[in-house]
């Protein structure tokens, strides 16, 4: 036996004793700031299994890119440093569409800068206004957009209102419309004028058809709850959504600002780059769909219809314990729920109550992330140590 390769029995015993005394060393004790990256070698699978080449954004910690890119969420008033690195073969930017940022941080190449291959940057801005926004690459824009370089940004308020003094609601539902032309993605050779792109795949959050019926895609609404549909379009099409009257849909915001007067909406037209915030408070027990038609912008006509599925959740019998706010994300949650990042909350016990005030969970959570994948649908209230109580919903 070669002692260089096999540690002595004494050393192994010493190591085991060390582990027994010290416990397993904690990994990832320090969270690094999240970094977005861009790549040009991704694949987006359609519902029928077709593999479409994409250029897109992803989190460095995930190691892969997605269409659409990750949802970026900020609190109103937050000073944001958006880290971006570009290891891909061409230059890209992040244009913060609709956000009030200064010219240097706007991601428009001609007026600020491009992030060339191998370079990194930080886009700094203050999230001054709550609302629904978008981001996308602004290099050879039509091409880089149709290849998949876009995502949604939500700026929300910890107190669960749409804006200061605005209506209260119970959860956000990001809905990003987009489309692509398979032939272009298969052979991305040059810049296209807008009218040369004729999309043949029409998506909501990168999905279509039956994919939108998957449990985690269905918009679950507990009785009595109000959800904020965050509708934004990166499509080349004009999107037209029809809200059944049972949803009691009211449009409150457009392009990241409150509309002068909220209006009941039955048909909503969303042009490329536009965003709307629509509150829905479905009638008890109502389940159904919101059909969204994609209209060709060049030769007027409907190309495709995708349906958003809304499902009533079980009746809210009983009462929730008192809560202070609705912080944390995503809300509603289906797989996991991230509690707010309270300073000093690491290692502190978390208690969760269900409807009726029964204690449903108690424990210490690394990183403050609750695994709710096996929890029944419904509303919950969580408290971490002596921090304020936060309410959230689980959907199935
Ligand atoms: Cu780009």
User: Is 258's pLDDT higher than 50?
Assistant: yes
> What is the CATH classification number for the domain harbouring 125?
2.60.40.420
The mean pLDDT of 36-59, rounded to a whole number, is 96
Same domain, 126 and 208: no
List Cβ neighbours of 151 (8 Å cut-off, separation of 6 or more): 57, 68, 69, 70, 71, 72, 134, 135, 136, 176
Are the C-beta atoms of 148 and 180 separated by less than 8 Å? Answer: yes
User: Residue 212: inside a domain, yes or no?
Assistant: yes
Are the C-beta atoms of 275 and 172 separated by less than 8 Å? Answer: no
C-alpha 304 to ligand 1 mean position (Å) = 27
Q: Which range of residues forms the domain containing residue 39?
A: 35-156
Rounded to whole angstroms, how far apart are CA atoms 375 and 366? Answer: 19
Are the C-beta atoms of 358 and 324 separated by less than 8 Å? Answer: no
**What is the predicted pLDDT for the residue at 11?**
42
User: Is 181's pLDDT higher than 90?
Assistant: yes
C-alpha 212 to ligand 1 mean position (Å) = 28
Same domain, 49 and 148: yes
**What is the predicted pLDDT for the residue at 25?**
46
User: Is 315's pLDDT higher than 70?
Assistant: no
C-alpha 115 to ligand 1 mean position (Å) = 9
Give the residue, 84 or 112, on which the prediction is more confident.
84
**What is the predicted pLDDT for the residue at 246?**
93
C-alpha 333 to ligand 1 mean position (Å) = 31
Rounded to whole angstroms, how far apart are CA atoms 71 and 152? Answer: 5
Query: If pLDDT is split at 50, 70 and 90, which confidence band does 314 have?
Result: low
C-alpha 91 to ligand 1 mean position (Å) = 6
User: Is 16's pLDDT higher than 80?
Assistant: no
Query: If pLDDT is split at 50, 70 and 90, which confidence band does 288 have?
Result: very high
User: Residue 383: inside a domain, yes or no?
Assistant: yes
**What is the predicted pLDDT for the residue at 308?**
97
Strand-by-strand arrangement of the 267-270 sheet: 219-222, 302-313, 288-295, 238-242, 267-270
The mean pLDDT of 46-55, rounded to a whole number, is 96
Q: Collapsing DSSP states into helix, strand and coil, what is residue 70? A: coil
User: Is 321's pLDDT higher than 80?
Assistant: no
User: Is 211's pLDDT higher than 50?
Assistant: yes
**What is the predicted pLDDT for the residue at 31?**
57
C-alpha 178 to ligand 1 mean position (Å) = 16
Record the pTM. 0.73
User: Is 298's pLDDT higher than 60?
Assistant: yes
List Cβ neighbours of 391 (8 Å cut-off, separation of 6 or more): 170, 320, 323, 325, 326, 379, 380, 381, 382
**Mean pLDDT of the residues in the chain:** 86
Q: Strand 359-364 to strand 390-394: parallel, antiparallel, or no bridges (unpaired)? A: unpaired
- Which secondary structure element, helix H or strand E, spans residue 19, and what is its range? helix 9-22
Which of 122-136, 149-163, 331-345 is predicted least confidently?
Answer: 331-345
Same domain, 295 and 198: yes
Give the residue, 75 or 327, on which the prediction is more confident.
75
C-alpha 90 to ligand 1 mean position (Å) = 7
User: Residue 18: inside a domain, yes or no?
Assistant: no
Same domain, 343 and 295: no
Burial of 201 per CB tally in 10 Å (0-12, 13-18, 19+): buried
User: Is 197's pLDDT higher than 80?
Assistant: yes
The mean pLDDT of 352-380, rounded to a whole number, is 83
pLDDT tens column, 323-360: 877 788 888 888 999 887 766 667 788 999 887 677 88
Nearest Cα to 83, choosing from 64, 58, 63?
58
The mean pLDDT of 3-24, rounded to a whole number, is 42
Same domain, 67 and 94: yes
User: Residue 330: inside a domain, yes or no?
Assistant: no
Query: If pLDDT is split at 50, 70 and 90, which confidence band does 224 have?
Result: confident
User: Residue 26: inside a domain, yes or no?
Assistant: no
User: Residue 133: inside a domain, yes or no?
Assistant: yes
User: Is 252's pLDDT higher than 70?
Assistant: yes
**What is the predicted pLDDT for the residue at 122?**
94
User: Residue 283: inside a domain, yes or no?
Assistant: yes
User: Residue 321: inside a domain, yes or no?
Assistant: no
As for how many domains the chain has, the answer is: 3
C-alpha 110 to ligand 1 mean position (Å) = 14
**What is the predicted pLDDT for the residue at 327?**
82
**What is the predicted pLDDT for the residue at 355?**
73
Q: Collapsing DSSP states into helix, strand and coil, what is residue 185? A: helix
Sign, Cα dihedral of 353, 354, 360, 364: negative
C-alpha 107 to ligand 1 mean position (Å) = 10
DSSP character string of 192-257: --GGG----EEEETTB-GGGGGSTTTSEEEETT--EEEEEEE--SSEEEEE--GGG--EEEEETTE
Q: Collapsing DSSP states into helix, strand and coil, what is residue 10? A: helix
Are the C-beta atoms of 253 and 169 separated by less than 8 Å? Answer: no
């Amino acid at each position: 036996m070669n002692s260089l390769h096999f540690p002595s029995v004494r050393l192994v015993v010493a190591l085991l004793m060390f582990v027994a005394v010290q416990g397993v060393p904690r990994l990832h004790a320090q969270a690094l700031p999240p970094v977005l990256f861009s790549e040009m070698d991704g694949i987006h699978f359609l519902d029928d299994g077709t593999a479409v080449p994409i250029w897109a954004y992803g989190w460095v910690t995930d190691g892969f890119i997605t269409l659409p890119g990750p949802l970026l969420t900020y609190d109103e008033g937050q000073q944001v440093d958006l880290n971006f690195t570009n290891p891909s073969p061409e230059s890209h930017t992040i244009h913060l569409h609709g956000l009030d940022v200064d010219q240097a941080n706007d991601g428009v190449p001609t007026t600020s800068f491009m992030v060339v291959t191998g370079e990194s940057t930080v886009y700094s801005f203050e999230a001054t206004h709550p609302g629904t926004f978008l981001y996308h690459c602004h290099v050879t824009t039509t091409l880089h957009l149709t290849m998949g370089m876009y995502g949604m940004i939500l700026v929300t308020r910890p107190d669960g209102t749409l804006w200061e003094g605005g209506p209260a609601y119970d959860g956000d539902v990001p809905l990003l419309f987009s489309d692509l032309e398979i032939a272009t993605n298969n052979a991305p050779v040059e810049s296209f004028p807008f009218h040369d792109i004729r999309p043949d795949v029409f998506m909501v959050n990168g999905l279509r058809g039956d994919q939108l019926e998957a449990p985690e895609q269905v918009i679950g609404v507990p009785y009595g709850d109000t959800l904020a549909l965050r509708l934004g379009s990166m499509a080349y099409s004009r999107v037209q959504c029809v809200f059944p009257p049972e949803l009691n849909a009211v449009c409150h915001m457009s392009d990241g600002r409150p509309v002068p007067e909220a209006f009941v909406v039955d048909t909503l037209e969303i042009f490329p780059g536009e965003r709307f915030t629509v509150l829905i408070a479905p009638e008890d027990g109502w389940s159904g769909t919101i059909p969204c038609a994609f209209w060709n912008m060049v030769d007027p006509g409907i190309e495709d219809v995708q349906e958003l599925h809304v499902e009533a959740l079980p009746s809210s019998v009983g009462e929730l314990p008192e809560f202070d706010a609705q912080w944390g994300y995503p809300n509603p949650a289906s797989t996991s729920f991230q509690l707010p990042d309270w300073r000093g909350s690491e290692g502190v016990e978390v208690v969760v109550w269900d409807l009726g005030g029964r204690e449903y969970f108690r424990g210490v959570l690394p990183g403050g992330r609750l695994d709710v994948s096996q929890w029944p649908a419904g509303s919950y209230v969580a408290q971490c140590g002596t921090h304020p109580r936060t309410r959230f919903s689980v959907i199935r």
